[in-house]
């Protein structure tokens, strides 16, 4: 992690019927998150890592208090069980 990036953890993964996958990575406190939309074909080649480094300007506040708590809990669970570069 550099000073210009923030480490975020995978907290949500959703699939749709058009072959797109939505990944949500959040800060450990669940306060900010970013969504990434990827094709399932691309993910089968690249994989999904437990954490990623991201430009802090791409992060958005998580408005819903229940969602913030869920993201913080999930980020902690993923961080406890995985190294950042682990594919999950």
How does pLDDT run across 19-36, given as a tens digit for each residue? 788 999 999 999 999 999
- Three-state SS annotation for 71-86: HHHHHHHHHHHCCCCC
What pLDDT is stored for residue 5 in this prediction?
A: 93
Whether 31 and 49 have beta carbons less than 8 Å apart is answered as no
pLDDT, one tens digit per residue, over 38-62 is 887 777 677 889 999 999 999 999 9
Give Cβ neighbours of residue 53 (< 8 Å, ≥ 6 apart).
Answer: 1, 2, 5, 6, 7, 8
Whether the pTM exceeds 0.85: the reply is yes
pLDDT, one tens digit per residue, over 64-84 is 999 999 999 999 999 999 999
In the chain, domain spans: 6-81
What pLDDT is stored for residue 2 in this prediction?
A: 52
What pLDDT is stored for residue 59 in this prediction?
A: 96
């Amino acid at each position: 992690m550099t000073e210009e990036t923030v480490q975020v953890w995978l907290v949500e993964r959703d699939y749709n019927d058009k072959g797109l996958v939505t990944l949500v990575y959040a800060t450990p406190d669940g306060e900010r998150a970013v969504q990434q939309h990827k094709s399932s074909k691309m993910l089968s080649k690249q994989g999904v890592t437990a954490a990623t480094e991201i430009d802090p300007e791409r992060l958005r506040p998580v408005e819903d208090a229940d969602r913030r708590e869920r993201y913080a809990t999930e980020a902690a669970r993923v961080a406890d069980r995985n190294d950042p570069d682990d594919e999950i």
